[in-house]
Amino acid sequence: MAPIDGNFDYDLAVIGGGSGGLACAKEAVNLGARVTVLDFVQPSPQGTKWGLGGTCVNVGCIPKKLMHQAALLGESIHEATAYGWQVPALSNVKINWPALTESVQNHIKSVNWVTRVDLRDKKIEYINGLGEFKDPHTIIATLKNGSKKELTAKNIVIAVGGRPHYPNIPGALEYCISSDDIFSLGHEPGKTLVVGAGYIGLECAGFLNSMGYPATVLVRSVPLRGFDQQMARMVTNEMEERGVKFCHKCVPLSVEKLENGKLKARWQNTETNQQVEEIFDTVLMATGRYALTKQLNLEAAGVNCVTPNGKIAAATEQTNVPHIYAVGDVLEDRPELTPVAICAGRLLARRLFSGSSQQMDYDNIATTVFTPLEYGAVGLSEEVATSRYGADNLEIYHAYYKPTEFFIPQRNIKNCYLKAVALREQPQKILGLHFVGPHAGEVIQGFAAAIKCGITMEQLMNTVGIHPTVAEEFTRLNITKRSGKDPNPASCCS
């Protein structure tokens, strides 16, 4: 058994070297704690593995944004001719996939290295081993060579994150890839089937299609579940107009590898029961994620608040065992976002080692879906606000708008749209802001601070915009859905 006199090897042991775990560890050591971080990446079903840093750095936000940027650059080359730039024949403008993935992976490896150096400089012991509990204070780490290392800690943080879920159908594990694999795929993806229409599925389908790789998306229920559905339709409408094919109310049945190396995918429409099969070069599974808690032997630690999908249910970050905590994607009903994990990890370390009492505020977390036309949101969707407050107690301000940079290349503007979900009673406190258009992430970040401060429609309308920007469109909102007036702009400068 672990010592009970407080004579532990570490004040804090963090299981998981992703954003949340690393942030907690670094903050703890800054406050004088003795800290160790355990991190081990098990290969994906297709054999992909990576270094220290977790999902965001290696197979999440960072490579996704780089791929998105690559797609935007391709679009810009085509638009440049309208602005007078003389470029080679547009038919010759093509992506070099191996060059792209090499550049992306080189950047990721540099971040892996900097992260390891940072831990060393901060005197945080890094253990490249798979951790599991022996008892509530003891962890056994299985190292790469199979040897075991045992350690004790006064406090333990579970920050193991999650991995992509694969549907239980023939051929899924054998032949399909996931977001764990796409950013380092050694060959062109070609014609791709994306199974799943959450933000990961739509983002991948979006940048693949923009790079010239035809993409088909299977939608089981609704796209971007949990997001405002009117905005989700804007996103998918834009993708469809750009050539992405959507198959609604469809679930996969099987994936078979043909002699020529291509993949034959079969799926079924759940409303008509019609079955379809089609040939693809790549099938990418984006059907949700599960938490990596199964291998932790949580029973030995007494942690019993685990949900069927492996997530830990906790009112704050503290589990039912007082000295064992969890941060990041491993927590149930928390936004699966890197900045959320980082903030929660830092605040937890301060509560443990500096006497702080500040808890993480999980409300009004801003996020962006990096689809070809980005979608940024903060606060409540129209659906959730309606269910909480009732439609009669809400006022929905909305508008279509025309980004100035879209004029000359005559880009499609029909899906550039924004809305504010507000209480109807004066001064009309804003509950949610939603924006589909260019630079949505940059736009919504600033307004997220305003939402945290309780901004009202009166204050928003009295804010002077920066002209001509797309962000200023929030300051120009004045038409409500209730009024029935046309939300299309009359002109850009009046």
- Do the annotations mark residue 399 as ligand-binding? no
Whether 35 contacts 17, CB under 8 Å: no
> CA 289 to CA 272: how far, in whole Å?
28
- Do the annotations mark residue 131 as ligand-binding? yes
- Do the annotations mark residue 171 as ligand-binding? no
- Do the annotations mark residue 129 as ligand-binding? no
- Do the annotations mark residue 16 as ligand-binding? no
Among 308, 362, 350, 288, CA closest to 325: 350
Whether 329 contacts 301, CB under 8 Å: no
- Do the annotations mark residue 226 as ligand-binding? no
- Do the annotations mark residue 196 as ligand-binding? yes
Catalytic-labelled residue, pool 107, 248, 439, 467: 467
- Do the annotations mark residue 288 as ligand-binding? yes
> CA 352 to CA 354: how far, in whole Å?
6
> CA 340 to CA 317: how far, in whole Å?
12
- Do the annotations mark residue 177 as ligand-binding? no
- Do the annotations mark residue 197 as ligand-binding? yes
Strand segments, DSSP code E, in 2-128 are: 10-15, 35-38, 125-127
Helices 97-121 and 61-80, axial angle in degrees (round to 10) = 140
Q: Where are the alpha helices (DSSP H) in 122-215?
A: 172-175, 199-210
Burial of 421 (C-beta count, 10 Å sphere; 0-12/13-18/19+): buried
Among 86, 286, 24, 337, CA closest to 181: 286
* 439 part of the active site: no
Whether 36 contacts 152, CB under 8 Å: no
* Binding residue ranges for NAD(+): 196-203, 288
Tell me which residues are annotated as active site.
467
* Binding residue ranges for FAD: 65, 131, 329
* Binding residue ranges: 65, 131, 196-203, 288, 329
